[in-house]
């Protein structure tokens, strides 16, 4: 099957501290990928590399079989959307903020087109922030802000969605909603990749998991194959029993 994004022997270091070492992996369209691993494993760095924010010191990253560096920033923004781990919230209205997701599609002095506005509206509806449209983002709760950020990335309407801990501030209902939305996007052909700390969300919703430990890939595969008690012990130093969900048959990770 065609690969949307491919990393080959990618190495990245901040100064002299290596973060990722000779990492190789491929992402296909129409799949929801989870990235898990302990703190400092290089998960966020992996996302920044895939979005071209950081350039690898060694190795090659390709998007649609074309080196990532050969894309202009604007071309790249039309292909890949990233939700970083930390966002800043200035007094934009929710609608203004979501419309910023359409920036790569209109010119410097231009205005968003009717299509841009419509895509922003749809994104606000599916993420359940449409009723907040006129409110200031800076006045919202942490969870609401996070959904606005998700709406912004959805409005960008790219073939690749990279999300760094998109569920951190969300209540249980919205954690599940977010994962279902990403699942749905994947079914529509988008390559979704999310860094998640909740292994049960990954086990439940992701099609495929990458487990990172200290800058290299420890294991990859469907959650059922990957989340074994041995692996959890090895990577997270927590011993868990081998449990499967009685209804879905997917692994359940509890100490």
Partner 1 sequence: MRPMKGSIALVSLITIAAIVVATALGSVPIPLGHVLGMLASRIPGIRDFVQGDWSVAREVIVLQVRLPRVLLALVVGGGLSVAGVLFQGSLRNPLADPYIIGVSSGASLGATLGLLFFIPQGLAGFGSLPLFAFAGAMLATWIVSRLGQSRGRLDPTSLILAGVAVGAALTAVVSLLMVLKIQNLTDVYLWLMGSLSGRGWKHLAVATPYVFAGVVLALWQAKDLNVYLLGEEAAHSLGIDVQNLQRWVLVLGSLMAAACVSVSGVIGFVGLMVPHALRLIFGAEHRRLILHSLWVGALFLLVADTLARTVLSPTELPVGIITAFVGGPFFIYLMKRGSGYHG
Q: Which residues of this chain interact with partner 1, rule CB under 8 A?
A: 15, 48, 51-53, 73-74, 76-78, 80-84, 86-93, 96-97, 100-101, 103-104, 108-109, 136, 138-139, 152, 156, 162
From CA 138, how far away is CA 136, in angstroms rounded? 5
Tell me whether residue 185 or residue 250 sits nearer to partner 1 (CB atom).
Answer: 185
Tell me whether residue 85 or residue 200 sits nearer to partner 1 (CB atom).
Answer: 85
Distances 84 to 95, 110, 195 between C-alpha atoms, Å: 20, 26, 10
State the nearest-atom distance from the C-beta of 109 to partner 1, in Å. 7
Question: What's CA 24's distance to the chain center, in Å?
Answer: 18
Radius of gyration of the CA atoms of the chain, in A: 18
Tell me whether residue 89 or residue 236 sits nearer to partner 1 (CB atom).
Answer: 89
From CA 213, how far away is CA 51, in angstroms rounded? 21
From CA 209, how far away is CA 177, in angstroms rounded? 19
Using CB atoms within 10 Å of the CB of residue 85, give its burial: 0 to 12 exposed, 13 to 18 middle, 19+ buried: middle
* Nearest Cα residue to 240 out of 227, 253, 222: 253
State the nearest-atom distance from the C-beta of 159 to partner 1, in Å. 14
Structure letter (DSSP) for residue 216: E
State the nearest-atom distance from the C-beta of 169 to partner 1, in Å. 14
From CA 163, how far away is CA 44, in angstroms rounded? 9
State the nearest-atom distance from the C-beta of 77 to partner 1, in Å. 3
State the nearest-atom distance from the C-beta of 95 to partner 1, in Å. 11
Tell me whether residue 74 or residue 234 sits nearer to partner 1 (CB atom).
Answer: 74
Tell me whether residue 140 or residue 181 sits nearer to partner 1 (CB atom).
Answer: 140
From CA 32, how far away is CA 209, in angstroms rounded? 9
**Cβ–Cβ under 8 Å, residues 212 and 37:** yes
Tell me whether residue 65 or residue 139 sits nearer to partner 1 (CB atom).
Answer: 139
State the nearest-atom distance from the C-beta of 117 to partner 1, in Å. 15
């Amino acid at each position: 099957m065609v690969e949307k994004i491919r990393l080959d022997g990618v190495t990245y270091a901040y100064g002299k501290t290596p973060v990722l070492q000779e990492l190789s992996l491929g992402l296909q369209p129409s799949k929801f990928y989870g990235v898990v691993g302990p703190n400092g494993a290089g998960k966020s760095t992996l996302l920044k590399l895939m979005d071209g924010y950081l350039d690898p010191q060694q190795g090659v990253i390709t998007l649609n079989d074309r080196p990532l560096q050969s894309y202009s920033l604007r071309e790249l923004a039309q292909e890949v959307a990233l939700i970083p781990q930390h966002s800043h919230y200035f007094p934009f209205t929710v609608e203004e903020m979501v419309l910023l997701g359409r920036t790569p599609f209109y010119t410097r002095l231009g205005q968003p087109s009717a299509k841009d506005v419509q895509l922003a509206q749809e994104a606000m509806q599916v993420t359940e922030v449409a009723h907040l449209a006129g409110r200031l983002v800076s006045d919202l709760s942490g969870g609401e802000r996070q959904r606005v950020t998700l709406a912004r990335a959805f409005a960008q309407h790219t073939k690749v969605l990279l999300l760094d801990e998109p569920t951190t501030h969300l209540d249980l209902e919205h954690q599940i909603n977010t994962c279902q939305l990403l699942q749905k996007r994947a079914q529509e052909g988008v390559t979704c990749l999310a860094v998640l700390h909740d292994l049960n969300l990954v086990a439940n919703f992701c099609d495929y998991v990458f487990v990172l430990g200290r800058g290299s890939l420890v294991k990859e595969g469907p959650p059922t194959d990957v989340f074994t008690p041995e692996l959890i012990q090895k990577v997270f130093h927590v011993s868990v029993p081998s449990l499967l969900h009685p209804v879905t048959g997917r692994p359940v990770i509890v100490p």
